[in-house]
Amino acid sequence: MTTVSRGEQFVQLYNQLDSHLHRLTGSPPEETFASVVKKAANSGHSAVKAMRHTLVEYGDLRNAIVHDPKYRASEIIADPRPEVIRDLQRLVDLVTSPPRLMSGLHGEPQVFSEDDPLISVLHYMRDHDFSQVVVRSKSTLGLLTANGIAGWLTDFAEASGFLVTEGLVSHALRYEQPGVFTLMKRDATLFDAYEFFSRTPKEGEGRPAAVLVTHSGKASEAPLRIATPWDVFPIVDLTK
């Protein structure tokens, strides 16, 4: 029985990753690993983008332990530690089969309408420790956040005869900045959401607060799940 060395295991995993990235980007065989990683990261492959620096480092490690660029087992000059093999296997799995965003979320979100009393939203957010809720506005979806509610309260709290109980969801929704949420389809990956939450808001935009998942990523569809940065960052950070 032939024993496969850790060096050979490493190269086999690396080659699997290299072949996948070449297919993913439609790159010719002679294009370097670092180049196809960059190409994949820059062309919308969010898993590769999130881990591109780690992937390039593994490419450098491969070059360090294999003397012959065409690879022959006899040319492996070092054996990586077992934990390096395990980590590379994890990266291969994440790149070739990124985890779906839906898989880590549970339960359809409560949906409010523009005509609902704002006080009912405030009670719901307090009771569930939420900082945003989904709003159905005719044929589209919106997001009402604590910041939007605070903006509305700031303008109207000193109004003569003002009562919070008279406020409607539509009143506070006008104070929401664009860019606080996005829609994604049900097969979106965890890394797709990570990329959205990691972006820097443009002038006049709010900080990304939620991803609303629908069947096809359309605002006319019912929301299946809602994801926040707290659902995404802790998991993705563990993969890097």
* Helix, strand, coil shares, percent, the chain, to 5: 50, 15, 35
Minimum mean pLDDT range among 23-37, 95-109, 147-161, 190-204: 147-161
183 in Cβ contact with 222 (< 8 Å): no
How many percent of the chain have pLDDT more than 90?
Answer: 74
How many percent of the chain have pLDDT more than 70?
Answer: 90
Supply the CATH classification number for the domain 103-239. Answer: 3.10.580.10
Minimum mean pLDDT range among 124-128, 205-209, 215-219, 234-238: 234-238
* Per-domain boundaries in the chain: 6-98, 103-239
pLDDT at position 224, please?
A: 97
pLDDT at position 239, please?
A: 61
pTM of this prediction exceeds 0.85? yes
pLDDT at position 39, please?
A: 97
Question: Quick one: which of 31, 16, 25 has its CA closest to 43?
Answer: 25
Residues in a beta bridge with 66 = 76
Q: How many angstroms separate the CA atoms of 187 and 178, rounded?
A: 24
pLDDT at position 81, please?
A: 87
pLDDT at position 86, please?
A: 94
Q: In whole numbers, what is the pLDDT of the chain averaged over residues?
A: 90
| DSSP codes, 17-85 | HHHHHHHHHT--TTS-HHHHHHHHHTTT-HHHHHHHHHHHHHHHHHHHHBSSTT--GGGB-----HHHH
Contacts of 17 by beta carbon, 8 Å cutoff, 6+ apart: 55, 58, 88, 91, 92, 95, 96
Residue 165 has pLDDT above 90, yes or no: no
Residue 161 has pLDDT above 70, yes or no: no
Structure-token pair, residue 185: 């389809």
Give pLDDT tens digits for 5-27: 888 899 899 999 999 999 999 99
Give pLDDT tens digits for 187-197: 999 999 999 99
